[in-house]
């Protein structure tokens, strides 16, 4: 039997090089900028939104004054907000239902043979 390749013993030159040769350490180093970017891109605006929603912060009065859930209570009691919320739900569900019905109708029409059916399907 002929040996094509024999295992070569690895030599450790330094501890730093050995740590960077590990997959889990090197993978964490490579993915950390992406994680940091996402945290800053998503996390910072979210925390600022929470901060602004529980305070009386405006452009004209930039001092921070904690008001708790009073802002939410005020919006829920506003009749314009309630009407807007109802219109939003109505539009959302009506458009989804209409899209579903028209899509199903179009799919059933494409099952019947007619001239140019391949072009319409494409």
What does the pLDDT look like over 52-81, one tens digit per residue? Answer: 899 988 888 878 889 999 999 999 999 999
pTM above threshold 0.85 = no
Residues in the chain, pLDDT under 70 = 1, 3, 8-17
Domain range summary for the chain, segments of one domain joined by +: 14-77, 79-122
Question: 53: closest CA among 64, 39, 42?
Answer: 64
HSE-up (13 A, CA, CB side) for residue 25: 7
Is the Cβ–Cβ distance between 55 and 68 less than 8 Å? no
- pLDDT value at position 69? 93
- pLDDT value at position 118? 86
Is the Cβ–Cβ distance between 32 and 26 less than 8 Å? no
Question: 72: closest CA among 88, 50, 89?
Answer: 50
């Amino acid at each position: 039997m002929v040996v094509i390749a024999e295992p070569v013993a690895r030599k450790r030159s330094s501890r730093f090089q050995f740590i960077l040769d590990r997959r889990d350490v090197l993978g964490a180093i490579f993915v950390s900028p992406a994680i940091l970017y996402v945290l800053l891109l998503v996390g910072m605006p979210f925390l600022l939104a929470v901060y602004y929603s529980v305070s009386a912060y405006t452009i004209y009065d930039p001092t921070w004054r904690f008001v708790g859930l009073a802002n939410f209570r005020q919006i829920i009691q506003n009749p314009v907000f309630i009407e807007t919320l109802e219109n939003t739900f109505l539009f959302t569900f009506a458009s989804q239902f209409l899209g579903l019905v028209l899509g199903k109708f179009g799919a059933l029409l494409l099952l019947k043979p007619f001239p140019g059916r391949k072009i319409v399907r494409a």
